[in-house]
Amino acid sequence: MSETRFFVGLISGTSVDGVDAVVLALRNNQLDILACHNEPYAEPLRLAVLSLCQPGISEIDRLGVVDRDVADTFAKAALIVIEKANLKAGDIEAIGSHGQTIRHRPSEAKSFTLQIGDANRIAELTGITTIADFRRRDIAAGGQGAPLTPAFHRVAFGISGNATAVVNIGGISNITLFDDSNTLVGFDSGPGNTLMDAWTRKHLDQAFDRDGLWADSGRVDEDLLERCLDDPYFSAPAPKSTGPEYFNLEWLDERLDMLPNQARPEDAQRTLLELTARSIAAALDNEPLAQLAVCGGGAKNTSLMARLSELLYPTHVITTAALGIDPDWVEAAAFAWLASRTVDGLPGNEPSVTGAAGYRILGAVFKG
């Protein structure tokens, strides 16, 4: 009987609200999450990260400092979650650190992606071998570098056949589909929470619209919704991926400025919720699904979940908790699993998802 192996997964997503950390136990192809932790970004650091997501002055100097500060937050999250699991650093085989994305340009002629959070520093502060920079090898092989979680979804949820799909609604929404031959298909369908969160911060000075209550106070502006859905990203074929460097307030303002009358803030928020729901539903059109399992922060938005249920009926919309993993921790667990793949010399990407030329071992290894 094989021994239990322990890995830590770390990620800060496109919502830029902090670091999710898990300890993942692997034994005989079974996986269990032993502990979870969220380490919020200090507000100055959150703002500094957001400032790097768009072009600006003194970027290299700012990048150097923020890269270091993000790494310190990641290392702190790792040490806390290891303690919560009643383990020691020496028990952990490796940390899988996604880092913090500040640019994702997979469709440019000279495509690239950039995640910060210096893995040298994480390895130094924790004493644990750290694997990072997962996305760029896939891009080097002609892929999108994202999404990387579909292979984990198949393993973690034991999905086979095409009856179940998974959608992660973080800042961006990404979908995992399984066809009859169990070939994976995955792509970013469009904005998840990123536009709703940014609009809420702008008008309510709150991090997010809890339960979608503010959105519920407004009405869908069909003119605005049509202008949003006219964006060519939504009709582009997979493989495709995107980020908040594309779907952001500047993108929204361009469409608001086209309206003959100024939209009420609450109506714009309701329309953004509708945009997320309809773009997901459209991406799943013609899929014979019995159920859709939702993870990420969007799983907590009761208004969004209700709207997805309406649009996708009779497909049963659930959260991944029904499949065994709390929706808050799926992404972090995926990067713990990806670290195990790298350690074992196994590929982490799915070419049918990312469009890469083939399977590749992902990540750079920084010894602890």
Q: Give the domain ranges of the chain.
A: 5-145+328-366, 150-323
Predicted pLDDT of residue 275:
98
Locate 300 and state its tokens: 């907590």
pLDDT digits 0-9 by tens, 27-62: 988 999 999 999 999 999 999 999 998 887 778 999
pLDDT digits 0-9 by tens, 293-325: 999 999 999 999 999 999 999 999 999 999 999
Question: Global pTM?
Answer: 0.95
Same CATH topology for 5-145+328-366 and 150-323?
yes
For residue 350, pLDDT over 80 is answered with yes
Angle in degrees, 0-180, between the axes of helices 265-283 and 302-312, rounded to the nearest 10: 40
Q: What is the mean pLDDT of the chain?
A: 95
Predicted pLDDT of residue 287:
82
Residue pair 164/316 in contact by the 8 Å Cβ criterion: no
For residue 263, pLDDT over 70 is answered with yes
For residue 95, pLDDT over 70 is answered with yes
pLDDT digits 0-9 by tens, 183-195: 789 999 999 999 9
Average of per-residue pLDDT across 109-137: 97
Single-letter residue type at 274 = E
Alpha helices (H) in the chain, listed in sequence order: 43-52, 59-84, 119-126, 135-140, 150-157, 194-204, 213-216, 222-229, 232-235, 249-256, 265-283, 302-312, 330-343, 351-354
Predicted pLDDT of residue 54:
80
Average of per-residue pLDDT across 108-137: 97
Residue pair 185/179 in contact by the 8 Å Cβ criterion: yes
Predicted pLDDT of residue 288:
84
Predicted pLDDT of residue 178:
82
For residue 160, pLDDT over 90 is answered with no
For residue 80, pLDDT over 90 is answered with yes
Assess if CATH 3.30.420.40 describes domain 5-145+328-366.
yes
Predicted pLDDT of residue 282:
97
Locate 78 and state its tokens: 């790792």
Predicted pLDDT of residue 170:
94
CATH homologous superfamily, domain 150-323: ATPase, nucleotide binding domain (3.30.420.40)
Predicted pLDDT of residue 171:
94
Q: List the one residue out of 158, 155, 156, 110 whose CA is nearest residue 136.
A: 110
Predicted pLDDT of residue 55:
81
